[in-house]
Structures are given as structure tokens and as C-alpha cells.
């Protein structure tokens, strides 16, 4: 028997003893070269980022509306949905800036399908290399249709493969407290929304907004795929997304509280309302009720509400993935979504409420002008 003091490092278990396999990925630069962003796409991405920044600062009066599937699992269905949404975007463009949710990675509370990037064939085979390329190809096609893309960054590495195509990014409820994700957001080239915690606690999101506005230095990966020290400038286009928790939190009192606390930090005082998740208490049809609440609040919110997020797909509801059973085309395999008719109804309600808010603001401005210059009335 060997005593502990006689044991050498060579006798210890290998440091990678729990690693089953390691598969090299092509560096981000190679994937970007294979699936490049053309000049037209670059212009559309830049224009959308600028417009969102203007909405955050109050320079653009439109509502920011981020709508689309809970997650993308079928490229053909995603493009079919994008074709429909592109037409709706044009219809409502005077009052709403519409982006499509193109979520290609899914954080899980326990276990489950982790999204298109991690498992593009929805069969547990992995094939992340194919998932990254497919995600990028889908985003490129959607942008070609005239739709800006919104996504959630679940990890900091995939951002190098996709961020140049993204006009708005989300840091989710499970990761808003993560220092890694706050550092990532500080260097992303697009506006970023931080969701409140899964319990409904708004502090993680508020702290994240403040943190990401400042410069950071951290270990990351370059587009060449090498480890490097990344130094960021900070991202001023960050804001809070209220997604509810144990109970909904899209009420007037919470919106005002969060807005006031953000303004105290010299950050964007507006919030985006996620009509799904905790605010709909897991019932997809209740998103319409949340939209109705938001529309009533828009009349006197003083620009505290930036807009909404909606989970929507070609077919209402959700489906289970069962081996050997074909999937319903255009129906979610993660959270249940609104169908097209209810999505159109929600967008119409928001468009009318935004128009009414604009009319009320113009009337109030006219009255203020009259008080300053009574002889002109």
C-alpha cells in the first residue's frame, strides 16, 4: 500500500477525467467569412441599433416591439414566420419598431433542449458546428427580408459568431446576475436588455444595467479563436426588461419604481415589458391581457414604457418532441406561443395605443406652448 506522502502527481487521476470528448470548432472568423454580412445587411443592422438607441433616449417616439418564436428549431418555419412579420412591420412602422425574436440558444432551469446552436437536429446529437452555421444563415435571411434580429446571448463565446447580425440582445433572468454576462454586455455592439430574476426581483437587472454601462477588462476569445484580454468601453444602451416572477410585475407601481431607480443611476429610465413568462404566469393566451394592461398604461406613463416582448409563432401553443412523431410545422417546442391572428391583434392594440399616446403628448405640448405664449392662441 502506498502512503499519501509517497504519492506523486503522476499517480493522481487525469485532470480531464470527467471529459468524454473535445471537438474543435472553427474560429468565428472562419464562419463569418463563409457566411458574411453584406453591405445591405450591415446597413439594416446599424439603422435598427441606432433607432433602438433613440427610443431608449426618448428621441424616437415609437414603441419597441420584439416578437417571434420562443425559440427557433426549424429554419423553414422561421423564414415563413419572418415573411409574415416583415409585412406586419411595414404596416405598423409609423408607431412601432418591430424586431423578430431569433432565439437560437435556450437556458434551462434543469434539463431540456438547449436550442438550435447546441442541438440543431433536436435529437440529442449535438453538432454545435452545424448549429452555429445554421443560426447565422437564418439570421442573414431574416435580415434580407427587412427584419432586424433580436436574440439572447446565453454564453460569451457564441456572441463572436453572431453579434454582427444582432440589433438587440437580451441577457436572461438566469444570467442577469452573472459577472461574465455583464462584462459581455458592456462590449456588445447593440442595445442590451437585462431581465429581472426568475423570482421577480428587479435588483439583479438594475445592477446589471449600471454595471454594463462601465468599462471592463476580462478574459475572452477573439474572432481568430485565441484567448485574449478584452477591454470594453461600456454600453450606454442598456435597459431593464420586466418579465415577472412568482407574480406579474408589469404594474404601474413597479414600472415607476424601476424607472426612478434607473434615473437615479443616470441610466435609461424606460423598461421593456415581457408579456410572456412570469407576467403571463406561463399561460400564452394571457399575453393579450398583458398587452391590454400596457396599452392602458401608455396614456400617462411619461415614456417609462419602451415597448413589449411577445412570444409568437405560426401555430398557437406548443408541442412535445416525441421520437418517431413528425413535428407540427411552425409550432413551438419550448414555451407555448400566440398564433398569427392573436399576434396581429396584439400589434394592432399596441399601434392604436401608441398613436393615442402621441396625440395626447402633442395636445399637452400645445397647451404648454399656449401658456408660454398666450397671444398666439
Q: What is the pLDDT of residue 59?
A: 95
Q: So what's the pLDDT on residue 27?
A: 95
Residue 367's pLDDT band, with cuts at 50, 70 and 90, is low
> Quick one: pLDDT at residue 353?
94
Contacts of 78 (CB under 8 A, 6+ apart): 69, 72, 102, 138, 142
Q: Residues 51, 52, 58, 64: is their CA dihedral positive or negative?
A: positive
Domain that holds residue 188: 25-314+335-376
pLDDT band for position 299 (cuts 50, 70, 90): confident
Residue 321 lies in a domain: no
Task: Look at residue 359 in the predicted model and tell me its pLDDT.
Answer: 75
Q: Using CA atoms, how far apart are residues 162 and 140, in angstroms rounded to an integer? A: 10
Quick check: is 344 in a domain?
yes
pLDDT average, residue stretch 194-213: 97
Higher-confidence position of 10 and 246: 246
Q: Evaluate whether residue 204 is within a structural domain.
A: yes
Overall number of domains in the chain:
1
So what's the pLDDT on residue 19?
84
pLDDT for res 11: 62
Confidence of residue 348 (pLDDT cuts 50, 70, 90): very high
Whether 11 is covered by a domain: the verdict is no
Question: What is the pLDDT confidence band of residue 319, given thresholds at 50, 70 and 90?
Answer: very high
Q: Tell whether the model's pLDDT for residue 336 goes beyond 80.
A: yes
- Judge whether 171 lies within some domain: yes
**305-311 and 149-152 beta bridge pairing:** unpaired
Mean pLDDT for the stretch of residues 123-139: 95
Which residue in this structure is represented by grid cell 418564436? 69
C-alpha torsion angle, residues 230, 234, 240, 246 (rounded to 10): 30
> CB of 99 within 8 A of CB of 168?
yes
CB 106 within 8 A of CB 114: yes
Q: Is residue 328 part of a domain?
A: no
Closest CA to 241 of 256, 258, 260, 253: 258
18 located within any domain: no
Rounded mean pLDDT, 146-152: 98
CATH code for position 69: 3.20.20.70
Spatial distance between the Cα atoms of 174 and 245, rounded to a whole number of angstroms: 12
Taking the model in full, what pTM does it have? 0.92
Is 206 domain-assigned?
Answer: yes
Averaged pLDDT score across all residues of the chain:
92
Rounded average pLDDT over 47-51: 98
pLDDT of residue 5: 55
Q: Look at residue 376 in the predicted model and tell me its pLDDT.
A: 56
Higher pLDDT, 359 or 200: 200
Q: Rounded mean pLDDT of 232-237?
A: 97
pLDDT score for 15: 73
Q: Give the pLDDT confidence of 89-129 residue by residue, as tens digits.
A: 999 999 999 999 999 998 887 888 899 999 999 999 989 99
Amino acid at each position: 500500500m502506498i502512503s499519501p506522502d509517497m504519492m506523486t502527481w503522476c499517480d493522481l487521476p487525469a485532470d480531464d477525467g470527467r471529459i468524454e470528448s473535445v471537438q474543435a470548432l472553427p474560429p468565428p472568423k472562419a464562419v463569418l467569412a463563409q457566411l458574411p454580412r453584406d453591405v445591405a445587411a450591415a446597413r439594416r443592422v446599424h439603422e435598427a441599433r441606432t433607432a433602438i438607441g433613440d427610443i431608449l433616449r426618448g428621441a424616437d417616439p415609437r414603441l419597441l416591439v420584439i416578437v417571434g418564436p420562443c425559440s427557433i428549431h426549424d429554419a423553414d418555419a422561421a423564414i415563413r414566420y419572418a415573411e409574415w412579420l416583415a409585412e406586419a412591420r411595414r404596416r405598423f412602422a409609423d408607431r412601432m419598431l418591430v424586431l423578430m425574436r431569433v432565439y437560437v440558444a435556450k437556458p434551462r432551469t434543469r434539463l431540456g433542449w438547449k436550442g438550435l446552436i447546441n442541438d440543431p437536429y433536436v435529437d440529442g446529437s449535438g453538432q454545435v458546428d452545424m448549429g452555429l452555421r445554421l443560426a447565422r444563415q437564418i439570421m442573414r435571411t431574416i435580415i434580407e427580408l427587412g427584419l432586424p434580429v433580436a436574440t439572447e446571448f446565453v454564453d460569451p463565446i457564441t456572441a463572436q459568431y453572431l453579434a454582427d447580425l444582432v440589433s438587440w440582445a437580451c441577457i436572461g433572468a438566469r444570467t442577469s446576475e452573472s459577472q461574465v454576462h455583464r462584462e459581455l454586455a458592456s462590449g456588445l455592439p447593440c442595445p442590451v436588455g437585462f431581465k429581472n430574476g426568475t423570482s421577480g426581483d428587479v435588483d439583479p437587472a438594475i445592477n446589471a444595467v449600471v454595471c454594463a454601462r462601465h468599462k471592463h477588462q476580462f478574459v475572452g476569445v477573439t474572432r481568430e479563436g485565441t484567448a485574449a484580454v478584452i477591454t470594453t468601453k461600456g454600453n450606454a444602451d442598456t435597459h431593464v426588461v420586466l418579465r415577472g416572477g412568482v407574480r406579474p410585475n408589469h404594474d404601474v407601481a413597479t414600472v415607476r419604481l424601476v424607472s426612478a431607480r434607473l434615473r437615479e443611476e443616470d441610466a435609461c429610465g424606460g423598461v421593456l415589458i415581457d408579456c410572456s413568462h412570469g407576467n403571463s404566469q406561463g399561460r400564452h393566451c394571457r399575453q393579450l391581457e398583458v398587452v391590454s394592461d400596457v396599452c392602458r398604461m401608455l396614456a400617462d406613463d411619461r415614456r417609462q414604457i419602451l415597448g413589449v416582448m411577445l412570444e409568437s409563432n405560426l401555430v398557437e401553443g406548443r408541442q412535445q418532441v416525441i421520437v418517431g412523431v413528425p413535428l407540427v410545422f411552425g409550432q413551438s417546442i419550448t414555451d407555448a406561443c400566440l398564433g398569427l391572428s392573436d399576434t396581429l391583434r396584439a400589434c394592432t392594440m399596441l399601434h392604436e395605443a401608441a398613436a393615442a399616446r402621441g396625440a395626447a403628448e402633442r395636445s399637452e405640448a400645445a397647451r404648454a406652448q399656449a401658456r408660454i405664449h398666450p397671444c398666439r392662441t
